[in-house]
Amino acid sequence: MPKSGKWWIAAGAGGLLLAFAPFLAVDQALRFYVERQAQSRLDGLASSALGLVEMRLEQATTTLVDLGAMRVDQCGPEALASMRRAVFATNPLKELSILDASRRTLCTHFGIFAEERTLSRELNLSSRRLSLAMVRFRDRPERALQLRLERAGGGSIAALVPDDALLPEASQEETNGSRRLRLTLDGGEVIAARPDGEEGGSFDEEGSLAARRHSERFPISVDAERGRGTIAEEYRDILLIGRLGASVVTAFALIFVGLSIPRERNDPAVELKRAIANGEIIPFYQPLVDLKTGQIHGAEVLARWRRPDGALIPPVRFIPLAEESGLIYDMTRVLMRRARDEMGALYGARPRIKIGFNLFAGHFSDGRIVADVKEIFGGSPIAFDQIVLEVTERSPLADLAEARQVIAALQALGCQVGIDDVGTGHGGLSYLLKLGVDLIKIDKMFVDALGTERYSQTIIETLAELARNMKIEVVAEGVETFEQVEYLRAKDIRIAQGYVFAPPLPGSSYAALLEAMEKPRSAIVPTPLFAQRAS
DSSP category for residue 311: P
CA angle at 59 for the pair 442 and 424, rounded to the nearest 5°:
20
Task: Determine the pLDDT at residue 268.
Answer: 86
Task: Answer whether 0.85 is exceeded by the pTM.
Answer: no
CA distance 49 to 55: 10
Domain with CATH 3.20.20.450 in the chain: 268-517
Count of all residues that appear for the chain in the document: 535
Pick from 148, 142, 133, 129: nearest CA to 63: 148
CA distance 390 to 356: 7
> Which DSSP string corresponds to 364-429?
GGSSHHHHHHHHHHTTSSS-GGGEEEEEETTS--S-HHHHHHHHHHHHHHT-EEEEEEETSSS-TH
Task: Determine the pLDDT at residue 316.
Answer: 86
Task: Determine the pLDDT at residue 89.
Answer: 85
CA distance 424 to 421: 6
DSSP alpha helix (H) spans, 70-102:
77-89
CA distance 462 to 460: 5
Examine residue 283 and say whether the peptide bond preceding it is cis (omega within 30 degrees of 0): no
Pick from 185, 181, 218, 217: nearest CA to 196: 181
CA distance 276 to 414: 29
Q: Is the Cβ–Cβ distance between 348 and 382 less than 8 Å? A: yes
CA distance 421 to 361: 13
Q: Is the Cβ–Cβ distance between 340 and 357 less than 8 Å? A: no
Task: Determine the pLDDT at residue 267.
Answer: 79
Q: Is the Cβ–Cβ distance between 529 and 517 less than 8 Å? A: yes
DSSP alpha helix (H) spans, 91-227:
172-175
DSSP category for residue 302: E
Q: Is the Cβ–Cβ distance between 365 and 403 less than 8 Å? A: yes
Q: Is the Cβ–Cβ distance between 495 and 288 less than 8 Å? A: yes
The CB density around residue 492, as the number of other CB atoms within 10 Å, is: 12
Tally of helices (H runs) and strands (E runs) in the chain: 16, 21
CA distance 404 to 290: 29
Task: Determine the pLDDT at residue 532.
Answer: 44
Pairing verdict, β 220-227 and 179-185: antiparallel
Task: Determine the pLDDT at residue 167.
Answer: 83
Give the gyration radius of the chain's Cα atoms: 29
| Rama region for 76: left / alpha / beta (φ>0; ψ in -120 to 50; rest) | beta
Q: Which CATH class is domain 268-517?
A: alpha beta
| Rama region for 494: left / alpha / beta (φ>0; ψ in -120 to 50; rest) | alpha
188 in helix, strand or coil? coil
The CB density around residue 421, as the number of other CB atoms within 10 Å, is: 21
DSSP category for residue 195: S
Residue type at 501? F
> Which DSSP string corresponds to 292-339?
TT--EEEEEEEEEEE-TTSPEEPGGGTHHHHHHHTTHHHHHHHHHHHH
Q: Is the Cβ–Cβ distance between 46 and 223 less than 8 Å? A: yes
Q: Is the Cβ–Cβ distance between 182 and 193 less than 8 Å? A: yes
The CB density around residue 227, as the number of other CB atoms within 10 Å, is: 20
How would you list the strands of the sheet with 208-214, edge to edge? 190-194, 179-185, 220-227, 208-214
CA distance 14 to 412: 77
Q: Is the Cβ–Cβ distance between 295 and 528 less than 8 Å? A: yes
Distances (CA, A) of 40 to 18, 45, 209, 210, 376: 33, 9, 10, 10, 39
Examine residue 195 and say whether the peptide bond preceding it is cis (omega within 30 degrees of 0): yes
Q: Is the Cβ–Cβ distance between 355 and 339 less than 8 Å? A: yes
**pLDDT string in tens for the chain (535-residue length):** 544 444 445 544 554 455 556 656 666 777 777 778 888 888 888 888 888 888 888 888 888 888 888 777 778 888 888 888 888 888 788 889 888 888 888 888 887 666 678 888 888 887 668 999 998 888 778 888 999 988 877 788 999 998 888 887 755 555 455 678 889 998 888 888 887 665 555 444 457 788 999 988 899 999 988 877 777 776 666 666 765 654 454 445 445 544 544 444 567 889 999 999 999 999 999 999 999 988 999 999 999 999 999 888 888 889 889 988 889 999 999 999 999 999 999 999 999 999 999 998 889 888 899 999 999 999 999 999 999 999 876 677 878 889 899 999 999 999 999 988 776 655 556 677 788 889 988 888 888 888 777 777 888 888 888 888 888 899 999 899 999 999 999 888 999 999 989 999 999 999 999 998 887 765 444 555 554 443 3
